Structure 1
Amino acid sequence: MKPIHALRCAVAAAPLMLAAIPASAQDSAPAGDTQDILTDIIRVTAAPSPAGDADSVEPPHQIALPADAVAIAARAPGGAAVGNGALSGQLSYRGLFGERVTGRINGQRFATGGPNAMDPPLHYAPSILVERIEIARGVAPVSQGPSLAGAVNAELVQAKYASGPALELHGSLAAQYRSVDESYAAGGLFALSSDTVRLGVIASREEGEDYRFAGGRVGGTAFERNLYGVHAGAKLGGGEIFAEYRRSETDPSGNPSFALDMVYFNTDFFQGGWRGDLTETVGLELKVGHVSVSHLMDNQTVRRPVAPTPRATFADSDTFTADVALRLGTATRHVMLGGDAEWVDKFVRITNPANAAFFLDSQPDHQADRVGGFVQWRSGLGNAEFELGARIDRTRQEAGVPTLGSAVMGGPVMLANAFAGSAREASDTTFDAALRLWLPGDEVTPRLTLARKTRVPGTLERFAWLPTEASYGLADGNIYVGNQALKPEVAWIAEAGFDLATGGVTFRPTAFYRRVDDYIQGTPFDDTPGVINSPVEMVANMNGDATPLMFRNVDAELFGLDFDFTAAVGHHLLLEGTSSWVRGKRRDIADNLYRVPPTALRLAAIWQEDRWSLGAEMSAADGQGHVSATNGETASSGYAVFGLFGSFALAPGIVLDGGIENLFDSYYQPHLSGVNRVGASDVALGERLPGAGRGVWLRARASF
């Protein structure tokens, strides 16, 4: 089905059943507002509106909150979800995903622990605790660190300062049941605060079974996760000193698109510092952080039937960060100077639980140290507003010598010895620059962005000496090997659009073009794919793939258009929606980029009264025929899924939400879903995983 035809069909169906876009509507901000121009914000667990206050009624929470917060972030214009499991999704933004999209939790960046990104950043943001998700529109400011394709930040619920000197108890609670996977989620915040101090405790528990689709159950998709933490702040001078600690514990959870499943992720987060104003025109932020990940995955605990050759992989990751930013000037007219650094250590060992003599270090003591500095100028030129920034980063990476057990066969031993004798280190200096320009107007605000953005190859891409499926979550069944000759990716970016806000209508389209030099992608290992004439191909063939891929620099381009809109019809009816289209191509050969989402459209209609609201939704996607031959990607078909939702304020501060998802129990396969690797499933081996079937969901929210 052609993209235009798909969109016409979706629009024609809109009056019957219209789709939700964000988990709740984005904040309305005047045209030209800085936050609205530079950042998309999706509210997730905002405090319920008081009953009977018509002016405060918010659009309802329109979807069952999935455990994976990526599904919420993907509702922003340009967003899409890469489905690798109930807790392992990645955000695709304007056709790029993985390490190209910077992910943070509460503003803290860190390296994931899993060698195949089973724990991408939003893995650590339980939806039931997320207050809002911030997505840098198009290009992330240089002050947020290096980033090739934007940045996403999930803010969890936190204690707020009270209005007076007396200590006050406040907080929020939420609980949800979802029938399609028989899951429940519960979490909340208890806080004690005054106008000078705040202390908060958060906790959540989520658990679900294998989810149903129109045709059966998807095996190996059950999940469990706990999170708990404490945070505090105290006003000091013109600012705040703050600290927070969280513990995330993921218990056995399935990843049907990977060869192994999660047994556990035990992760500790800490960050603290000071932020505020030294004078009326001088602001300062100092912050340090540490994230420690301990991980085990295997093919015995969750996988059914268990694999005949048992494997258990242990992985550890530590990230230390430090940030400083000095603002000279006011909030809208200033120069910001800053620096940031991160030190990352990773270690991965593959074992055989049935044979203590079999083990090998696939990522032996990977280290990546980066130090960067930036300057960012926010000012005006005539009637125009602009933000101009530049940063420079120095990155040094190295890998240790792998250790192998005596039961490991000769092929891997040969590759390990060759790797031990190689350089095993690399250094890069990268330069980023970004200009954002907008012309605030009463109704229309034109926007223009020009940028040069870079990404240094990951240590996996450079130092993966052992041919495995580890690929930072590509989950395509291919075996990959690293390449120490990789160069950093360099993207040249142009974006143009406008924000329209007139009467009860908003409309925000953006057209974009990204030309990426030295784009990193898996390519055939040598000129004779399928002919086993090298040690790498021999080991890859032993692991089930006679045509391994090596990470190499290629040339690419991505271009497209996305938009969102809202329209208030009278006093009670709200229409809203998003649409995204992106095309990704190789420039060096006639091929397409891998895992680029198809054209998508979401629409929603919501009827709002003082204490209740009802709505209908539709989510549609075109088929994707522009697939990567290099990666063996298969085409997908288009679909449209419909649902109903509603909300009722039981009392001040207490709201009940509910709905029906996939109302007609449609069978569909999102293009970015992984392929099934689980035998005990109603999905055939090698088939793209289907979307969830029909189900009901209920959620209760309370604030006090």
Structure 2
Amino acid sequence: MTQPLAAQETDPDTVLTDTIVVTATTPDPATDAVKPPQQIALPADAAAIAARVPGGALVGNGALSGQLSYRGLAGERVLGRVNGQRFASGGPNAMDPPLHYAPSVLVERLEIARGVAPVSQGPSLAGAVNAELMQARFASGESLDAQVRLASQYRSVDESYAVGGLAAIASEDWRLGVLASREEGGDYRFPGGTAVGTSFKRNLYGVHGGLRLAGGEVWAEYRRSETDPSGNPPFALDIVYFDTDFVQGGWRGELSDNVALDLRLGHVAVRHLMDNQTTRQPAAPPMQARATFADADTTTGEASLRFGERGSYFQIGGDFELVDKFVRITNPTNAAFFLDAQPDLASDRFGGFVQWRGALDLVELEAGLRIDHTGQSAGEPELGSAVPMGPRVLGAAFVAAERETADTTVDAVLRGWVPLGDVTPRLTLARKERVPSVLERFAWLPTEASYGLADGNIYVGNLALEPETAWIAEIGFDYESEIATLRPTAFYRRVDDYIQGVPFDGTVGVIDSPVEMVANMNGDPTPLRFANVDAELYGVDLDFALRPVAGVELSGTASLVRGERRDIADNLYRVAPASLRLAGVWQRDALSLGAELVAAAGQEDVSLTNGEAASEGYAVVGLFARYGVTDAIALEAGVENLFDRFYQPHLSGRNRAGASDVPLGDRLPGAGRGVWLRLTAQL
């Protein structure tokens, strides 16, 4: 039976992909070899699990709104998908990044492209993460196969519980499954008090199925995710609801020997409300009360044709992604106060790619090229009669501006590796581009929306932004033997036209423009605008495991990344410090015991341009145990933050809840000491 959180290679492309197996699954060749894991209490936020890979770090924005930072890059630079489906965040400040829709108790595995995503996965500047939820599998015999997988957990530090699972029935020719989960937690405790406003509630349910037909499978799935009132203290507003529907389907299989076709169509509809009244403590006074409604619709389609076998092929494909967004800010106590912060934003992308995989003597190669054309536009904002003159002036200027743009981007990836027995040297060279987001381009109203930076700064968009272009080189090797595993990588990314916030103008602190006047009314006299700068990121990371004797394993990850501006003498904003994760586990028959150390250095290399504060280092220890009651049922337990250490991760958001024991403006601390219990079963 697989265990939670074991990083394990699951297919012939393991040199290209990191896989974290999260929940128990039915036995198959991909998971039988999973070793005892470095177990933790499964967080509701699956981004905290993805952040355990080499080069990973968590951007902590609340229990359900975290993002993966990968080798110094985060946000929309890291491609996020659920069950292979791309979609746009519904929240204007990314309260629902992709992994918001992947409850940990339902995640079967997280796949993270090592360093650079292949062009076949679509455009992305950094790596890519895909959360695969539990799925029904075809039966292996002639009789019907009933499949049940369950996971449940209790965590004392926030009095939370999570329960979820899959029930399915399948034959050799068809499969049908339903899945559901429920999670709820209160405000978490830390050494020194309670982080008020961090409670959460979320439900997910869905159905999926497949039918073997004409040498392949016709498949479809539908899911509904409902996030109920949940606190987000790093943001000015909290979640009231996210009601999101996912639907996708297609056909995958072989047309003939060594000719495979993959077709997929999908749609995601996000409906969102956030405010500072429902869960925020204290609630904002009537004049400052806000309720923001946001919609996001994403329609996607993909088609690819592959000639050859999985390890030796030529592939050609195309895809499209059509996104529509709308955001309206209101005052629930004044019907005449409303304004459209994101008025009918649209981003339509059409792309095509070719990818080749093969060998030249001992060298295995993967090479790909893709071209994308993206058109973006914005509508005209409406403003209520109670909106003051400052926003009206900005709205009129935005209406008069050119609100349509188009970009053509080119990505190229070349990866090579040489299997030499226990050692596999590898090299990656790539050129990657990212089109500015509709928020970065069309944010005409100065607000704190920044795709989840949650730093208290006010940002405004920039119609003149150019796409980011990254030139990437990575080198490393994989070593695998009976007693040791070692996979180090050194990387360098040179990013031209990197997009980040810079001072709005050259007279910082002097309020001499309508943008600064409006920002000052909202509490920030020094707003930032999104702008193109030049940057570079470089570093090393690795994962390792030692198996000195039978039943004992020492394993972990280490990461170091530096991010610097190339146009001025400054550091990039919000880059994670050096970190280390080290775990030891002893296993004997059905029982395993272990401990884990998670440590991070202080971060002194901060951005002066963005007023970023340094952070202190920390080390946190946890204990865990697992007992296999039967082959199908397991009990797990642990203690997190054993020594009740107070710590504040560098990438944690800053507190905005006034009634909290966390001072206003301070980074949110990590959870204090607590116990957790988990039960998993598969029948």
TM-score range relative to shorter protein: over 0.9
Please name the residue that 1:348 is paired with.
327
**Cα contact 1:476–1:631 (8 A) shared by 2:** no
Match of 2:615 among 629, 636, 639: 636
**Cα contact 2:5–2:49 (8 A) shared by 1:** no
Give the number of the structure with larger relative contact order, counting CA–CA contacts within 8 Å between residues 6 or more apart: 1
Matched, 1:132 2:106: no
Match of 2:57 among 80, 87, 96: 80
Matched, 1:609 2:602: no
Matched, 1:289 2:266: yes
SS in 2 for 1:85: coil
Please name the residue that 1:587 is paired with.
566
Amino acid paired to 2:603: Q
**Cα contact 1:23–1:72 (8 A) shared by 2:** no
Q: CA deviation at 1:651?
A: 1.7
Please name the residue that 1:366 is paired with.
345
**Cα contact 2:602–2:614 (8 A) shared by 1:** yes
Which stretch shows the higher mean deviation, 367-376 or 521-530?
521-530
Q: Deviations over 1:16-73 (max 9, x none)?
A: xxxxxx95222256xxx742101000000033889xxxx9784146000000001100
SS in 2 for 1:412: helix
Unaligned runs of 5+ residues in structure 2 are none
Please name the residue that 2:185 is paired with.
208
Please name the residue that 1:404 is paired with.
383
Match of 1:521 among 497, 500, 503: 500
Instruction: State the TM-score, normalizing by the size of structure 1.
Output: 0.95
Q: CA deviation at 1:367?
A: 0.1
**Correspondences of 1:387-398 after superposition (within 5 Å):** 387-398=366-377
Q: CA deviation at 1:516?
A: 0.1
Matched, 1:166 2:143: yes
**Cα contact 1:600–1:622 (8 A) shared by 2:** yes
Please name the residue that 1:145 is paired with.
122
Amino acid paired to 2:424: T
Amino acid paired to 1:314: F
Matched, 1:46 2:46: no
**Correspondences of 1:15-414 after superposition (within 5 Å):** 23-28=4-9, 34-47=12-25, 58-60=35-37, 62-308=39-285, 309-414=288-393
**Cα contact 2:24–2:681 (8 A) shared by 1:** no
Q: CA deviation at 1:241?
A: 0.5
Q: CA deviation at 1:503?
A: 2.3
Structure 2 CA distance for aligned equivalents of residues 310 and 57 of structure 1: 51
Structure 2 CA distance for aligned equivalents of residues 435 and 60 of structure 1: 33
Matched, 1:418 2:397: yes
Matched, 1:702 2:678: no
Amino acid paired to 1:287: R
Unaligned runs of 5+ residues in structure 1 are 1-21
Amino acid paired to 1:24: L
Matched, 1:574 2:553: yes
**Cα contact 2:622–2:639 (8 A) shared by 1:** yes
SS in 1 for 2:13: helix
Q: Percent identity of the aligned residues?
A: 69
CA RMSD of aligned residues (A): 1.2
After the TM superposition, list the runs of 4 or more consecutive aligned residues in structure 1 that deviate by more than 3 angstroms.
55-58
Please name the residue that 2:669 is paired with.
690
**Cα contact 1:282–1:326 (8 A) shared by 2:** yes
**Cα contact 2:197–2:280 (8 A) shared by 1:** yes
Structure 2 CA distance for aligned equivalents of residues 282 and 620 of structure 1: 48
Change (3 A) 1:577 1:111: same
Q: CA deviation at 1:126?
A: 0.2
Structure 1 CA distance for aligned equivalents of residues 615 and 416 of structure 2: 38
**Correspondences of 1:524-603 after superposition (within 5 Å):** 524-603=503-582
SS in 1 for 2:7: coil
SS in 2 for 1:305: coil
Q: Deviations over 1:577-596 (max 9, x none)?
A: 10000000000011111110
SS in 1 for 2:105: helix
SS in 2 for 1:108: coil
Change (3 A) 1:387 1:523: same
SS in 2 for 1:416: helix
Structure 2 CA distance for aligned equivalents of residues 56 and 634 of structure 1: 44
Instruction: State the TM-score, normalizing by the size of structure 2.
Output: 0.98
Structure 2 CA distance for aligned equivalents of residues 653 and 23 of structure 1: 14
Change (3 A) 1:135 1:57: closer
Amino acid paired to 2:462: N
Change (3 A) 1:48 1:572: farther
SS in 1 for 2:629: strand
Structure 2 CA distance for aligned equivalents of residues 28 and 82 of structure 1: 26
Q: CA deviation at 1:652?
A: 2.4
Q: CA deviation at 1:657?
A: 0.6
Structure 2 CA distance for aligned equivalents of residues 280 and 61 of structure 1: 42
Matched, 1:622 2:611: no
Amino acid paired to 1:665: D
Amino acid paired to 1:278: L
Amino acid paired to 1:110: F
Amino acid paired to 1:323: E
Q: Number of matched residues? A: 676
SS in 2 for 1:418: helix
Q: CA deviation at 1:165?
A: 2.8
**Cα contact 1:415–1:535 (8 A) shared by 2:** yes
SS in 2 for 1:160: coil
Q: Deviations over 1:390-411 (max 9, x none)?
A: 0000000000000000000111
